[in-house]
Amino acid sequence: MKTRVFAPLLAAIAVACGSSETEIGPADSSGNTKGVRTDDGTNGGTSGNSSGGSANPEGGAGGDRDASSDGGGDPCDVPSSSIDGVADAKHPSGQAPPICVPKGFKTAMIDDFTGKALSDAWLTPGNKDFKASYVDPKQVSVHDDQLDIAYSFTGKAADKPLVGWAQASRASARVQTYGKYLVRQRVDAVKDLAAALLLWPKAANTWPPEIDFCEDDFGMRHWYSFNHYKHDGAHAYTTNDSTVTSPDWHTWGVEWTPSSVTYTLDGKAWKVETDPEMVPNIDMYLGFTMSTYNRPAVAGSGHWLVDWVAIYSML
């Protein structure tokens, strides 16, 4: 059933994320960026993976596995919503990025964070207050083959946690209209601190749309989707309960086409939205955000860990 209501709390993300690189500040992305592949089958100017069409045993994301991009057809004859990673004990989560390319898509970027810093595809906005939190770029790091977005209540003030944000919105990232996104992640639980994995509009002062394909219930690690859109010129949203209530590793995804938004979890579609109002048709990018949203702060700290990110473009 469609839900159309106002959501002042979630709408605050519009102020938080910004809508362009100039608004959200500089990136903290120097250093070794091994492990990033872009849509031409290369590493986007970085060191690391070799081509050849197979998983890289050192990083799990090597090779140009996009047979569909050169007319060779899709290597996996399965629905795109069922694409998931492959078992790999060398990865922190026990799973490497997918070998299959989703049907109807081509690989835009796969990042398995095997270097010592974020690639130049990523921005780490911050150095600002937001809803009783302080966004600090220093809370974002790359180590042990994973992206670490840390949070702590021992930062600027006792009642104002330090949090990190990250977004794939630079020139070497795939900022696009329509696509498929997969993120292998886990988040420690800290009460009253919410984490949101989302697609955000590129254009300045353009909100909604916003697709939160994995957002938790303020530290309870009960995961939902939220789709923010306009109805009769006003903000409205729908929410869907994934029923997942653990901080364990999962692969969260969203498949966004001209006719639908499909939410996936560990290689299976769990919700599809087809109302035209709920399907954005403008360029968007992938982002990670967190905040207390003015809720009471409880002492604690933790980590939002990301093993890999896979982004695909429509053919």
> With contact defined as beta carbons under 8 Å apart, do 95 and 249 qualify?
yes
| pLDDT in the model for residue 72 | 37
Q: What is the pTM of this model?
A: 0.79
The reported pLDDT for the residue numbered 209 is: 97
Is residue 16, in this structure, part of any structural domain at all? yes
Determine, yes or no, domain membership for 124.
yes
Structural domain count, the chain: 1
Residue 170 within any structural domain of the chain: yes
Q: What are the pLDDT digits (tens) for 11-63?
A: 444 434 443 332 332 233 333 334 565 554 444 333 222 223 323 222 233 33
Q: Which alpha helices (H) appear in the chain, and where do they start and end?
A: 8-11, 13-17, 21-24
**What pLDDT does 218 receive?**
79
**Is residue 161 in a domain?**
yes
The chain-wide mean pLDDT, for the chain, equals: 78
180-206: average pLDDT: 91
Instruction: Give the burial string for 85-98 (b: 16+ CB within 10 Å, else e).
Output: beebeebbbebbbb
Half-sphere exposure at residue 178, Cβ-oriented, CA atoms within 13 angstroms: 11
The 10s digit of each residue's pLDDT in 267-285 is: 999 999 999 999 999 999 9
> What domain range includes position 177?
8-314
Q: Which residue type, as a one-letter code, is found at position 313? A: S
Q: What is the pLDDT of residues 238-274, one digit of tens each?
A: 999 999 988 899 999 999 999 999 999 999 999 999 9
Question: In what side-by-side order are the strands of the sheet with 194-201?
Answer: 122-123, 166-168, 284-291, 194-201, 210-216, 223-231, 234-241
Question: Quick check: is 116 in a domain?
Answer: yes
151 neighbors 190 (Cβ within 8 angstroms)? yes
What confidence score (pLDDT) does residue 293 get?
78
Q: What would the mean pLDDT of 118-140 be, rounded to a whole number?
A: 91
Residue 194 within any structural domain of the chain = yes
| 252's tokens | 């969260």
Amino acid at 50: S
Assigned domain for 1 exists: no
Cα–Cα distance measured from residue 51 to residue 41, given in angstroms and rounded to the nearest whole number: 7
Contact criterion met (CB below 8 Å) for 268 and 199: no
Strand 301-314 and strand 179-187: the pairing is: antiparallel
- On whether residue 256 sits in a domain, the answer given is yes
Check if the beta carbon of residue 290 is closer than 8 Å to that of residue 193: yes
Question: What's the one-letter identity of residue 86?
Answer: V
**CATH number of domain containing 308:** 2.60.120.200
* Contact (CB, 8 A) for 199 and 210: yes
